[in-house]
Structure 1
Amino acid sequence: MKVSKAQAQANRAHIVETAATLFRERGYDGVSVADLMAAAGFTHGGFYKHFRSKADLMSEAAACGFAQMEASTGEAERATLIGRYLSREHRDAPGDGCTLAALSADAARQPEEIKAVFAQGMERLLANATPVDPDADKLTQQSARAERINALAHLVGALMLSRACPDDSALADEILETCRAHALAQVEG
């Protein structure tokens, strides 16, 4: 039975969203094409009707993950975002969380096209975080960008370190609490 063009596009979008979640949960190497297609409700053979390779899907799924992150942050205050980001709930739900914290280490070992998607996603996150006055001098703009990069690295690193600990580890919670307090002090100070 032939599928309409609109249904094929919807199916592809569903596969990409499913992949974005599964890759964040299990990493790129932890998800086979067969597992992914089964989770999306399709047969393994249908994969190549939508994608040339797993790497193509990985790129699209990473872009989808970054778009989901942008949509979930919305207009929330920085302190609220920090509190949500460095929380036990976020830590324990990588499939629903930050693409950077879940997949940066994996992305570093992937082809350039995937690294490029990560770089673009980071650039969008940096651009959307506390915009800098475009009329400010170059040194002020560079300083503000450096602060945003530092904050992003601090948040992502804290979540990654916490996830590297056993689930019931006091250290896992201590990392989140310490880094959350420090990040909030930077916002409030």
Structure 2
Amino acid sequence: MPRITKEDKARNRENILDAAGRMFRLRGIDAIGIAELMKEAGLTHGGFYNHFASKSELVAEVCGASFAASLGSLARTIEEGPDQSGSPLKRVVDGYLSTAHRDAPNGGCPSASLVTDAGRHSEAVQRAYAEGVEGYLAGFAAEFLREAEEEGRELDPDEARRKAMRLLSEMVGAMMLARAVRHVEPDLSDEILRTGRGNLLD
């Protein structure tokens, strides 16, 4: 039997994380068993424990990695600054509350797709989710402060955080509602997204 190299092991681990990220977002954490997950990753059931001590450990890592990817995208958008399509925060809202994001629940930001599951799972999972939320709040608040300074307005850091909290809460809530009704009331789903894109930064 051929020996598994470190590179093979790292690749297998990444395959498990990728498969788990897609499946957890799409169907929920509790709906996915280890055997099904490993099959999706192209690996055998027994190999799971060569990479993770438990499903809970995997979920926490998936949550953290998913937020890291989303926060990386947020940082890049903010770093690019304003462009012809608007301010960085407007572009973030437009992308988040897009039909493409709504219609791809197996990808995109975990803030909406894992929000219910996170609260039902271990402290490690909840901590990973909370760290992701804090990352968004910090990024949004910093951008609100930058915009205020650029425009010559005074904005207290506490108020910037409150604005960030409202923005994130309304984005996540709008996406959850839009996904919940999109199959039976597609026009309503589109209206929720459209209204959010138009109103969240007013």
Q: TM-score, normalization: structure 2?
A: 0.83
One-letter identity of the residue aligned with 2:190: D
The structural deviation recorded for 1:72 is 3.0
Q: Which runs of 5+ in 2 are unaligned?
A: 79-87, 150-154
Is the CA contact 1:24–1:94 (under 8 Å) kept in the aligned structure 2? yes
8 Å CA contact 2:77, 2:92 repeated in 1: no
Q: Is the 8 A contact 2:174 2:196 kept in 1?
A: yes
Q: Distance in 2 between matches of 1:68 and 1:21?
A: 14
Q: CA deviation at 1:168?
A: 4.9
Aligned length: 181
CA distance in 2, matches of 1:71, 1:167: 31
CA distance in 1, matches of 2:170, 2:107: 20
Tell me what 1:5 maps to: 6
Contact 1:17–1:64 (Cα < 8 Å) also in 2: no
Query: What per-residue deviation string (whole Å, max 9, x for no partner) do you get for residues 60-118 of structure 1?
Result: 01011101212333225221121111111110101111101001111111111110001
Between 1:59-68 and 1:123-132, the stretch displaced more is 123-132
The CA RMSD measured in Å over matched residues stands at: 1.8
Q: Say whether 1:161 aligns with 2:148.
A: no
Contact preservation (8 Å) 1:33, 1:54 = yes
Question: Which amino acid is 1:125 matched to?
Answer: Y
**2:45 maps to which residue?**
44
135, 148, 156: which one aligns with 2:164: 148
Select the residue among 126, 129, 140 that pairs with 2:137: 126
Partner of 2:189: 172
1:97-116 → structure 2 map (5 Å cutoff) = 97-116=108-127
Q: Deviations over 1:36-82 (max 9, x none)?
A: 11111111111011111111100001011101212333225221121
Q: Which runs of 4+ in 1 moved over 6 A?
A: none
Q: TM-score, normalised by structure 1?
A: 0.89
